Structure 1
Amino acid sequence: MPRSKAWSEAIRGLRDESGSAALEFLVAGLVLLVPLAYLVVALSAVQEGSLGVEAAARHAAHAVARTGADQQAAEALPRVIDAVAAEYGLDGDALEVSLSCVPAGECPRAGASVIVTVGATVPLPLVPPVLGLDRLTSVPVEAASVQKVSRFWSAP
């Protein structure tokens, strides 16, 4: 049975497209996969930074609330911050740390609440430090922690 001319042209048109599916798959895969992989890496870096500053704030507030005197609190705070920063791969010198007490006054004192706030900037991975791009693409993270000092606490 002879084929019609339209049928033959349709088959010929399909033959012209042969072999391009693999190329299209590779290009589409790269176009979608590379940004998705970078997104996962960037979000994990920001998450690591946010977990680090949260842990630093929590442990620092706990350490200050448990110390025996103002001088001991002032000595304990940088040690705790540096230890936690090293654990999470943060630069301890680049962290912004603030300490306050409620009600205002001597810190720490019996019945007061110690508030420690820790902030940092997390640079996105694979961003070169050219033309200040590393500063423009940094993500600021901040955490605060409140620890109640025992009302039976007394300085030695």
Structure 2
Amino acid sequence: MHLPRLSGKDDEGSAALEFIAVGVILLVPLIYLVIALGAIQEQTFGAEAAARHIARVVARAPDPTTAAERSDAVLAGIVGEYGLDEDAVDLSLSCRPLVVECPSAGATIIVTVTTRVGLPLVPEVFGLDRSTAVPVQAEAVQKVSRRWGAE
């Protein structure tokens, strides 16, 4: 037995159209999220690599001048390799125990690299690109030889 329709509209085929429309509406933000998280992860890997390699270079350098030169070269290489914004990268070095001259023989150096990751497709209008940037920070710790600077 076939019941007659109460409304005069024909709904045949609208489910597929609704599925496609809702799918697109949900898929676009999901794709943006994947792209944004990928950019943040790439910059995080860059900051971690910079901190780790700079700590090693400074700890293995024979003197402070060589340590500064090598750490600048490593940072430039990491910035180029991971696409970090050179102006947004901040590098700091501290020592434990606190000493007058850092790095020094026998100290433990702590290298901190901070940067800001701009989200993709955010316009520069009204400073939106700066206000939506995600801060990223990485630290690395390395023990300096007791004979550091004596060679």
Q: Percent identity?
A: 55
Greater percentage in helix: 1
Q: TM-score w.r.t. structure 2 length?
A: 0.91
Q: Which residue in 1 is equivalent to 2:72?
A: 78
CA contact 2:64–2:149 (8 Å) conserved in 1? no
The structure that has the greater radius of gyration is: 1
Alignment pair present for 1:56 and 2:40: no
Q: Which residue in 2 is equivalent to 1:126?
A: 121
The 1:14–1:31 alpha-carbon spacing in structure 2 relative to 1, beyond 3 Å, is farther
Task: Please identify, of 67-76 and 24-33, the stretch whose mean Cα deviation from structure 2 is larger.
Answer: 67-76
Task: Report how far residue 114 of structure 1 moved.
Answer: 1.0
- The aligned length equals 150
Secondary structure of the residue aligned to 2:3 is: helix
The runs of 5 or more residues in structure 2 that have no matched partner are none
Task: Report how far residue 9 of structure 1 moved.
Answer: 2.0
What is the 5 A alignment of 1:1-156? 3=1, 7-10=2-5, 16-105=10-99, 106-156=101-151
Supply the AA of the counterpart residue of 2:29: P
The runs of 5 or more residues in structure 1 that have no matched partner are none
Task: Give the CA RMSD over aligned residues.
Answer: 1.8
For each residue in 1:23-58, what CA deviation from the matched residue of structure 2 results, as whole angstroms up to 9, or x when unmatched? 101111111100000000000000011111010000
Task: Report how far residue 109 of structure 1 moved.
Answer: 2.3
CA contact 1:81–1:92 (8 Å) conserved in 2? no
The 2-side partners of 1:27 and 1:58 are apart by: 47
Secondary structure of the residue aligned to 2:4 is: helix
Supply the AA of the counterpart residue of 1:107: C
The 1-side partners of 2:23 and 2:8 are apart by: 23
Structure 1 runs of 4+ with >4 Å offset:
12-15
